Amino acid sequence: MICLTLAEDSIEKAILKVEENREYIDLCELRMDALSPDEMKKAYAFPSLVNIPVILTFRRKIDGGRIEISERSRRLALLDALKGDFSYVDIEEDIKKSEVEDKAREKGIKIIRSLHDFEKVPEDIFSRLYHLSERGDIAKVAVTPKSFQDVLTLFRVEEELRGREKIVIAMGPFGVATRILYKKLGSFLTFCSDSEVAPGQLSAKTLKTEYMADKVNEQTAIYGIIGNPVMHSASPLMHNRGFHAINFNAIYVPFLVDNVRSFFMFAEYVKMRGFSVTVPFKVDVLSYLGNITREVKQIGSCNTVVRVPGMWKGINTDYYGFIKPIVKDIDDGRIKSALVIGAGGASHAIVWALRNYGVKVTILNRTLSRAENIAKLNLCDYDSIENAKKYEGSVDLIVQTTSVGLYPDEDKNPIEGFKFTGNEIVYDIIYKPKMTKLLKEAEKAGCHLHFGSEMLLEQGKLQFEAFTGYHYPHWVDSGL
């Protein structure tokens, strides 16, 4: 179930939020600690006004609550609210048997017994969960993973406490994947909000329509992307839409990872069939692969990992993703020479792709030695980026591979002042923004443009094929 956390200061605003999200949610949580003191008195009426199951929660300040209030007043407020038709009430782990608990039991309101840790995942999490659920209540832990290893621990909860009703929430950036995959953790609900009431929360709409998180079942295969940072990635939307369109029972999730080794342990644990790899792990994953393609070997980086019998196999779809939009121009002889700006990981794949298609390449980079390294491996020329003007009018294709011009530095161009003749094809692999400063200038001169989103889409389509065995459905809007 998808549960909307409501931290509004009035009942009226809380009702409005429920209405805005009604189609995406199954229940909601009224956070009494966010209500103004006058509004708290009206809390009891809330369930009958929204007509969906409601969890009643009054968080203490130490557990992330919004208001400083005496424990006695807090309990009195809860007791008063329990006059209403709430379905659940949240009571903290360390609260001894209280009038609130008695009243809830008397009224048949289910008790969620909760434990919060904003610092870490407690070492004794399994036994604490076990104790929380002992009295037949729903055990809830909201903890904060500090590493991907902690995330793996939380996925083990289901194995340790199978069959017990529980809520497992991982807060903070590492926790996002657990909020999406809540059903795989054995959690009977996930919390969401429009305004990130707790760190790492996603919106109800994203969970329901992008991830279809509530449709996950035991058979659902987990795919995803590992990176750091990773939440900006456009890949989840693209792959989830594709899976949905072909009725493929799978979900694609962004995984913030700090350590590739713990991710491979996780991938084994949840029997992943494949995942995408982005910065900074495209080289780190290589040592875990039992098999790599020619492209991965040559380029020295891998952006896609798939399970093959007995091992993980690494492929590189950046190579084909990049070349696909311009391959016709190469075949037609329209592109014979290219200037590649930048000498990082992306540049390496691109230079190799162009050389493989017989294009003469010159690499320009700020740090000359990096350009030299790639140039030597691929038999091409190199120069300092400061000399860019030397190449004006002499190349058919210009490819921009650096991070210069990337959101939010959209007013930057790595070859400021470079004069285009208008005959060049100009390709910027940045996809946010779509129209970079460099592309704007090239367009003004009349150049033909290619966008980072084209490369992203093409490499994504190939990943989709590697993951599912099917073509990416042509009728789907990939979001790119």
Cβ contacts of 18-21, under 8 Å, gap ≥ 24: 18/50, 18/52, 20/194, 21/194, 21/204, 21/205
- Say whether the peptide bond before residue 236 is cis (omega within 30 degrees of 0): no
Residue 345 interacting with ligand ATR (CB under 6 A): yes
In the residue annotation, 282 being an active-site residue is answered as yes
Q: Name the minimum Å distance from CB 369 to ligand ATR.
A: 8
Residue 300 interacting with ligand ATR (CB under 6 A): no
Task: Tell me the backbone φ, ψ of residue 444, rounded to 5 degrees.
Answer: -55, -35
Note whether 464 and 242 are within 8 A (CB): yes
Max CA-CA distance within the chain?
A: 84
Q: Name the minimum Å distance from CB 402 to ligand ATR.
A: 3
Residue 344 interacting with ligand ATR (CB under 6 A): yes
Q: In the complex, which residue's CB is closest to ligand ATR?
A: 344
Closer residue to ligand ATR, CB minimum distance, 276 or 468: 276
Among the listed residues 282, 313, 324, 461, the single catalytic one is 282
Q: Which two tokens stand for residue 154?
A: 């939380």
The residues, ordered by sequence, that sit 6+ positions from 357 with a Cβ below 8 Å of its Cβ are 323, 327, 330
Residue 365 interacting with ligand ATR (CB under 6 A): yes
Site string for ligand ATR, 422-451 (x = CB under 6 A): ------------------------------
Helix runs in 191-313, H state only: 204-205, 235-245, 260-269, 294-299
Comparing CA positions, the residue from 64, 16, 8 lying closest to residue 36 is: 8
- What SS3 state is found at 136? coil
Please work out the total of residues on this chain that contact ligand ATR, with binding judged by CB under 6 A. Answer: 16
Site string for ligand ATR, 366-405 (x = CB under 6 A): xx--x------------------------------xxxx-
Closer residue to ligand ATR, CB minimum distance, 54 or 439: 439
Residue 321 interacting with ligand ATR (CB under 6 A): no
Q: Name the minimum Å distance from CB 343 to ligand ATR.
A: 4
Site string for ligand ATR, 261-280 (x = CB under 6 A): ------------------x-
Cα dihedral 190, 277, 252, 258, rounded to 10, equals: -10
Report the C-alpha gap between 290 and 274 in whole angstroms: 14
Residue 180 interacting with ligand ATR (CB under 6 A): no
Q: Which stretch binds ligand ATR (CB under 6 A): 22-30, 75-83, 359-367, 432-440?
A: 359-367
Binding site for ligand ATR (CB under 6 A): 279, 342-347, 365-367, 370, 401-404, 414
Which residues are identified as catalytic? 282
